[in-house]
Structure 1
Amino acid sequence: MGEPNSESETGGTSGAGAAAVPGGETEHTPDGDEPATDGGTVAGDDAASDYGDDRAGTDDEADRTRTGSEADRTKTDSEADGDAVGNGAAAGNGAAGEDAIDRLRRRIRRAIEVLRGSSIDVRPYRPGDGVFAEFEVPDGEELVDRYWVNAPYAYVVITYADEESEHYYYAVEPELDDFEAELLARTRVDIRDPLLYATDAEPTAEETLRDELRSLLEQYGVDVSMRTFHALLYYLARDFRGFDRIDPLMHDPHIEDISCDGYDLPIFVYHDEYTDIETNVAYAADDLDDFVIRLAQESGRHVSVGDPVVGTTLPDGSRVELALGEEVTPRGSAFTIRKYADEPFTPIDLIDYGTFSIEEMAYLWLCIENNKSLIFAGGTASGKTTSMNAVSMFIPPRAKVLTIEDTRELSLYHDNWLSSVTRERLHEGSDIDMYDLLRSALRHRPEFIIVGEVRGNEAVTLFQAMNTGHTTFSTMHADSIETVINRLENEPINVPRAMVQSLDLLCVQTLTRVEGERVRRSKTIGEIGEIDQRTGELDYSRAFRWNPGTDSFEGGDSNLLEEIQRDRGWSRTERKREMNRRERFLELLSELGTTDYRQFTALVNEYYADPERVMERLEAAREEASDDVRSTDGASPDLTEAGEAEVDGGGGVTGDRDGEDSGEGVTGDRGGKDGDENSETRADEGDRADGSR
């Protein structure tokens, strides 16, 4: 989201008073003129609408190329044209009459083109093909941020209104004139059958869509510009294969949640930098109902007036909650989409974002390796599932892992992993709930059982699994250790207190603010003890706690570490040495920028096999990075780029994590609330306030 220079790559500058397309490479019309700035009109649209004007030759030359009845029809058209010229000259004094004549001529040319047919030479879009869209900042608002989300078609503009003290989010897509909009409506209908009956033997979906669009336009006899062709292609791909009007929002890597509250209401998003923000996207009643039904169908679920509420997972892995009609949501159909990162977060990500300290993460690693069960608790969007998924990367290689969820959220990079999801009743069958899956899971002989969330009677079976030696991870909605215990022991979960003590760890997370920014922090890590024989209460202690005043983590005594020390036959010195070595391992990976989950998992597996060898390699990589810093006069190297910290060998550190690049390497422009557009570049990963979702 960094801001490039205000001067475009082709040497021009953006129009005054308008937020031009990010990056500047599509700022100019094909002949190099300045872009139009009259309220956001697109340069070159006249050529697109008057698609017959650019063809070589005149009507008389076209007459000579035709024979028989076609020539007669052309002659009749020419006579009509001449009559119109005469009538226009007599009736319309000046420009009005000439405009009417020009429109009539264009209609005649279009009719001739349809009869003749056309041939379109399709090629990739080029910056010289024309500007797709320009955006003019509304009065009373100032440009704050802009960046690509689907270059070169769609970008985002974020503004700030001083009077309301609010940010606003604008999704900017290609503009269409009246003729292009009419053409899009027609192609959207005519292209359905060819796409529906396309076979797997045909080219990719993108190629099929492009070829069918070209074929239809040639059948229509339309000779469109490349800008018009690619604008139509964008909207067809967006509507048939994308997410309709919210497609730019789904492509935005900085959005965590998308919320639609009803008919004709603006959609709100949760932006990782600007938090809750209103967008310029809204749905009318019929369109919203259709879209909600479509989301359910694409997820393999059914939603109807009789069953209006559905929670499911979209094909891209996002979680969605749907409500159809006004039965349960009086303001109309609604949906909320919780987006997840394309790649799962690693423990290094959580350390870098300050969610956990290195010492806490090393502590959790040692506990997981030694089969300690844990629950992550916290409020909505506090990062419970993200943290559980991240620490699951510490599970020893080859250990059998079984996950149970009602909506698919977990993603493990583990060979011996069995994933299971609940199912609602199909026809005459019965529901398969988490309780059924958990009972079945125990027959698969898993070593680790991960349950997405406990909220009902499945918790009893989960704790029975703990008591029989299975290591289990799960999440709960609760804001403290005491609340977790109370929820477990009371309705509707009802786990006996004697069984609760089989739980080893409780990690409570919170979504809070530090210096005005929303962040996620591990508020406390507690260790569950035994039942106090005098009071009958369940004992627990805090191994770590977060100090909000200093935004730091404080450690305490750990009974679990002493228990692990006894079980492993270590001395106190050996236990401390192992903890220190794991802390150094995580510290090195953080310094080297090794946040790719595949690399991280490979290195953890190497550590289990030969910790001394992998530590030597990491120290060597760190020393090499230090030499690079000294050779550049103290300039800090970008260790997130490929190859900066590369080490040969399997699972070696490369520090290669792709930024969330929004197409063709184009970065957006960034300005302050005062409109200052100083050039600034930053990695997309660094834009996140904390990253845990």
Structure 2
Amino acid sequence: MPEENLGKVEKEYDDLHKSLDLEYPNKFIEFPKTSNPAEVDFKYPLIIPFADAHIKWDPEIEQLVYYVEEPSMASEEKNMLKTIIEELVDAIQVGFNSIKDERKARQYLESQVLKIIEGLNLPITRERFTKIMYFIYRDFIGLNKIEPLLRDPWIEDIGCDGVGVPVFVVHRKYGSIQTNVKFDDLTELREFVIKLAEKCGRYISYAEPILDGTLPDGSRINASLAGDVTTRGPTFSIRKFSERPYSPVEIIEFNTASSDIMAYFWYLVENGASILIAGGVATGKTTFLNSICMFIPPESKIVSIEDTRELKIPHEHWIPAVSRLGFGIPMPTGEKYGEITLFDLLKSSFRQNPDYVIVGEVRGKEAYVLFQGISSGHPSLTTFHAGSIDTVIKRLTTPPIELSPSLVESLDVVVIMSHAKEKGKSARRVKEVEEIKSIDPDTLKVVANRIAEWDPSTDSFSFYGNSLALEKISKFKGITVEQAWEEIARRKSVLEWMLKNGIKDYEKVSVLINEYYKNPEKVLSKVDQKIGLNISQPKTVEIEVKEQKPIKVVVESQPIVQPVQLQPIIQQLPLPEIEQVQSIKVETKVMQPEETTKVEENKDEYDIAREVEDLKQKIAASLQEVKKDKKSKLERVLGYKIIVER
């Protein structure tokens, strides 16, 4: 079509608005299956028909790069776009930002742009017009050059570390990837951070250069404005809210957990077990939490509490609550005016008589309220930052949380998540599944049943029986443990059948799970193969939570000397703590009247070798006599005072 004044002939284009409709795909994407990153070259749409994601290997930097591909513009088109934007800024009414409906906002912009084109008599074709309108939509309604990244359902995090630094994203499939998006101009980046604050309904300035807010779609923002706070210039980090969570079947498909483990959790969640999912940063804690939330019976009332909206639960009877940031100067309590914390929401949630309480992450005083609820019989699911079960117990029983061991014992299951590299790719795995049996209130030693664990050498899972949680559930339901395991095996068959038949989208999986609750025989009739559980030898694990320190045998008869390694000998001592010790040393002290003489380290006042040899002989002579006796008898035989220290 020849160039002409589009403003004058707008009515001739009946399909103009249709051509300007944007589509944001949120469908499941089958990524190419390859273990070699250098072979990755894959494109998928972000904003149809204008923006695509193109992930491919860059041989120069030898890593994957995420390319945002948008319509290219000639210099004439760029100048035209710049002119229109300058006029549009003056023409837009103050109330434009209050328009919440995206379609209405786009129509308003279209009408204003058409007026500008007609007023300036700009030569333009329909193709050029649609291209220009895309960039106007992107910059006036969306978040500028970041908008395509926000529209990608496979991106979890977006981060900019300063001026001239490529924006990085965390991709669900490929992990952390550099993009071709970059803010090269300081003013551009500064204005973008201010725009982020406006979108969050917050304020950021050089006086208050840190932004912590939430976008209208639930994505969490953290940004800085002043260069003296972040020396590479303004920065921002966006934790996206995902509209499409992973289903339990996808968790199995990605080998994050085995079908045995997921069937076990299906049964536990249905029967009200309380589960804590622990792990480090970006280990998949919330992803796993969301997947097992799909096992909650459809008629149950759920209350979820989060700082950042991340959970997506396919239940009608669900109250999603999100904490709210305050305003102004903090009050004496440390909170800001109008602030609603997790603690506030959690206290309120138990008054709503929920069947399940889900907390996105516990890290402070809200843990006490949560565990009080668990101990009083409210099924609860949550995540926690800790890399092992002993770290979980340490953090829960020490400040600032400081729960009593008896409260922590009310927790049924602890899941430890891991983020590893599998064949060069990012891999999230269920590292361990532990059932807490008891916690010693003095030593904090945990006795736990290890239900499952991941073997990184084979990238496979071992699943163990002898479940304490199943024993408790079986007693409550009046059935045998064997019957419970049979039911878990049936559910494993259903999960395997869904995986085999490509039923893995969370909505479809949720429908089948709900159907199973209503009519299990009907669902099982579809399953063409009944699959048994792969149960290995049961494991009971004793974990010493306190910091491992050497056992010291303190001899109160000689001057202080350097510690002497006596590992092979002391290992034979009949002390119960020996099994937990990694290294053992012997120190000797001299006892003066009313005090102990302190001598500098390395001071050699006698023959150490002879002293050690004497101690060896005494221990060897006394071992048989005191093999099964207590420490006090050993002290009498040796003539030494033995002090066991941690």
The answer, yes or no, to whether TM exceeds 0.5 is yes
CA distance in 2, matches of 1:289, 1:179: 27
How far is the alpha carbon of 1:552 from its aligned partner? 1.1
Amino acid at match of 1:166: Q
User: Could you tell me which residue of structure 1 aligns to residue 105 of structure 2?
Assistant: 205
Q: Deviations over 1:98-149 (max 9, x none)?
A: xxxxxxxxxxxxxxx89xx8434446589x99xxxxxxxxxxx999444443
The answer as to whether partners of 2:246 and 2:291 remain within 8 angstroms in 1 is: yes
Q: Which residue pairs with 1:256 in the alignment?
A: 156
Match for residue 122 of structure 2 among 222, 244, 262: 222
> 356, 362, 373: which one pairs with 1:454?
362
Over residues 593-628 of structure 1, what are the superposed CA-to-partner deviations in whole Å (9 max), with x where a residue is unaligned? 222333322322222222112322x338x99xxxxx
The equivalent of 2:201 in structure 1 is 300
* Residues 410-437 of structure 1: CA deviation (Å, up to 9, x unaligned): 1212122122222222469442211111
1:617-673 per-position Cα deviation (integer Å, ceiling 9, x unaligned)? x338x99xxxxxxxxxxxxxxxxxxxxxxxxxxxxxxxxxxxxxxxxxxxxxxxxxx
- Structure 1 position 174 matched with structure 2 position 71: yes
- Matched residue, 1:548: 456
Paired position in structure 1 for 2:587: none
Moved more, 574-583 or 309-318: 309-318
Contact 2:327–2:337 under 8 Å retained in 1: yes
The equivalences for 1:277-676 within 5 A come to 277-283=177-183, 284-426=185-327, 429-532=337-440, 537-556=445-464, 557-616=466-525, 618-619=526-527
Q: Deviations over 1:14-71 (max 9, x none)?
A: xxxxxxxxxxxxxxxx8xxxxxxxxxxxxxxxx8xxx5xxx6xxxxxxxxxxxxxxxx
* C-alpha contact 1:308 1:327 (8 A) present in aligned 2: no
Tell me by how many angstroms 1:587 deviates: 1.6
Scaled by the length of structure 2, the TM-score of the pair is 0.71
1:243 paired residue number: 143
Q: Distance in 2 between matches of 1:217 and 1:394?
A: 56
C-alpha distance after superposition, 1:513-560 (max 9, x if no partner): 222221111001110112348966332221110111111111113121
Q: Give the Cα separation in 2 of the matches to 1:445 and 1:142.
A: 53
CA distance in 1, matches of 2:140, 2:57: 33
Query: What is the distance in 2 between the residues matched to 1:538 and 1:312?
Result: 39
- Relative to structure 1, is the Cα distance of residues 595 and 150 closer, same or farther in structure 2, using a 3 angstrom cutoff? same
Partner amino acid, structure 1, of 2:161 = D
2:153 and 2:306 map into 1 onto residues whose CA distance is 25
Cα distance in 1 for residues equivalent to 2:120 and 2:435: 72
The 3 A distance-change label for structure 1 pair 142 and 437 is closer
Aligned to 2:610: none
- CA spacing shift, 1:483–1:349, aligned 2, 3 Å: same
Shift, 1:272, TM fit: 4.4
Q: Is the 8 A contact 1:481 1:508 kept in 2?
A: yes
CA distance in 2, matches of 1:532, 1:273: 42
Of residues 265, 268, 271, the one that matches 2:168 is 268
More displaced stretch, 423-432 vs 253-262: 423-432
**Aligned positions of 1:151-190 closer than 5 A:** 151-158=48-55, 160-190=57-87
Tell me, in whole angstroms, the C-alpha distance in 1 between the residues paired with 2:524 and 2:285.
30
Q: Secondary structure of the residue that 1:446 maps to in structure 2?
A: coil
Q: Is the 8 A contact 2:193 2:235 kept in 1?
A: yes
2:312 aligns to what SS in structure 1? coil
Relative to structure 1, is the Cα distance of residues 207 and 588 closer, same or farther in structure 2, using a 3 angstrom cutoff?
same
The 1:393–1:155 alpha-carbon spacing in structure 2 relative to 1, beyond 3 Å, is closer
Deviations 1:209-234 (A, max 9, x none): 33332232122212312221111111
Q: Structure 1 regions of 5+ residues with no counterpart?
A: 1-29, 31-46, 56-112, 130-140, 624-693
- 2:9 corresponds, among 91, 97, 119, to 119
1:307-349 per-position Cα deviation (integer Å, ceiling 9, x unaligned): 3333333233333322222243222211122334432221111
Q: Alignment partner of 1:603: what SS? A: helix
Residues 305 and 327 in structure 1, CA contact (< 8 A), matched pair in contact too: no
State the distance in 1 between where 2:40 and 2:453 align: 40
- Separation (CA, whole Å) in 1 of partners of 2:73 and 2:443: 74
Distance 1:549 1:202 in 2: 50
Shift of 1:476: 1.0
Please tell me the residue identity of whatever aligns with 1:371.
Answer: G
- Contact kept, 8 Å, 1:313 with 1:408, in 2: the verdict is no
Structure 2 partner of 1:671: none
Which residue in 2 is equivalent to 1:691?
Answer: none
Q: Distance in 2 between matches of 1:201 and 1:555?
A: 50
DSSP 3-state at the match of 1:553: strand
Alignment length, in residue pairs?
499
The within-5 A match list for 1:35-46 is none
Given the superposition, is the C-alpha separation of residues 201 and 417 from structure 1 closer, same or farther in structure 2, using an over 3 Å criterion?
closer
Distance in structure 1 (CA, Å) of the matches to 2:280 and 2:369? 24
Distance across 1 between alignment mates of 2:433 and 2:302 = 24
**Could you say if the C-alpha distance between residues 184 and 122 of structure 1 is closer, same or farther in structure 2, counting changes exceeding 3 Å?**
farther
Aligned counterparts, 1:52-201, within 5 A: 118-120=8-10, 121-122=12-13, 144-158=41-55, 160-192=57-89, 193-194=91-92, 197=95
Contact 1:497 1:538 in 2 (8 A): no
Worse-matched range after superposition: 545-554 or 189-198 = 189-198
SS of corresponding position for 1:503: coil
Where structure 2 has 5 or more consecutive residues not aligned to the other structure, the ranges are 21-37, 329-335, 531-646
Show the counterpart of 2:608. none
**One-letter identity of the residue aligned with 1:184:** L
SS at match of 2:351: helix
Shift in Å, 1:273 = 5.0
Structure 1 residues 339-348 or 161-170, which shifts more?
161-170
C-alpha separation between the residues in 1 aligned to 2:400 and 2:362? 11
- Could you tell me how far apart the structure 2 residues matched to 1:590 and 1:301 are? 45
In the alignment, the residues of structure 2 paired with residue 321 and residue 291 of structure 1 have an alpha-carbon distance, to the nearest angstrom, of 13
**Counterpart Cα distance in 2 of 1:186 and 1:163:** 37
- SS of the residue aligned with 1:207? helix
| One-letter amino acid matched to 2:67 | Y
Cα deviation, 1:477-530, whole Å, max 9, x if unaligned, reads 111111111111112221111211111111111111222221111001110112
**8 A Cα contact 1:311 1:407, kept in partner:** no
Partner SS for 1:494:
coil
Cα deviations across residues 409-465 of structure 1 (Å, max 9, x unaligned)? 112121221222222224694422111111122211222111111111111111111
Greater relative CO, 1 or 2 (CA 8 Å, sep 6+): 1
Larger strand fraction of residues: 2
User: Closer, same or farther in 2 for the Cα pair 1:552/1:326, shift >3 Å?
Assistant: same
Letter in structure 1 aligned against 2:392: V
Aligned to 1:13: none
Per the normalisation by structure 1, the TM-score is 0.66
